[in-house]
Amino acid sequence: MKEFIRNFKKQQTVGILNISSLSLGIMVAIVIGLWAINELSFDRFHKDRDRIYRAVINVTVNDTPVKSGRTFRPLGEQAKEELPEIEDMCRVVIQKESDVRIDHVLHQSVVTYMTDPNFFKELRKTT
């Protein structure tokens, strides 16, 4: 420790750069790790999570390819009718910053999710 302090006093600029870069590297590693954990925990609450799929649409907007999790409303019903492998479908719509009133108390700027009634329904087992 004495050697570290002696070297830090002699070369403060190098010491500050070393400590700053180490701190930045640790911070980036933590942020990437937290992001990966969040991405891998998607739909982990559901018992049948290995049988859940999300429809994604690929479109081109102003000559730029765009992937979007938002699809047209009838897609689920039509896909369920045409593909017998689909057991059930559920739409999820995120409505950002809406006002919600619960028991005469107004909660402002609340992120709400609207889903079909079968969102928490368990899938029936088919073998």
Distance between alpha carbon 3 and the CA centroid of its chain, in Å? 46
110 contact partners, CB below 8 Å, separation of at least 6: 97, 98, 99, 100
Kindly give the parts of the chain with pLDDT less than 70.
122-127
- Per-residue model confidence (pLDDT) at position 123: 63
**Encoded tokens for 100:** 């919600």
Q: What ranges in 1-127 are assigned the alpha helix state H?
A: 2-10, 12-40, 75-82
- Per-residue model confidence (pLDDT) at position 23: 97
> What b-and-e string marks burial along 76-91, b requiring 16 or more CB atoms within 10 Å of the CB?
beeeeeeeeeeeeeee
Q: Exposed, middle or buried, 15 (CB in 10 Å: 0-12/13-18/19+)?
A: middle
- Per-residue model confidence (pLDDT) at position 87: 83
Beta bridge partners of 67: 58
The average confidence (pLDDT) of the chain is 84
- Per-residue model confidence (pLDDT) at position 42: 72
- Per-residue model confidence (pLDDT) at position 125: 60
pTM: 0.48
pLDDT digits (tens, 9 = 90+) for 2-24: 888 888 888 888 889 989 999 99
- Per-residue model confidence (pLDDT) at position 108: 87
**What is the 3-class SS of 11-33, one letter each residue?**
CHHHHHHHHHHHHHHHHHHHHHH
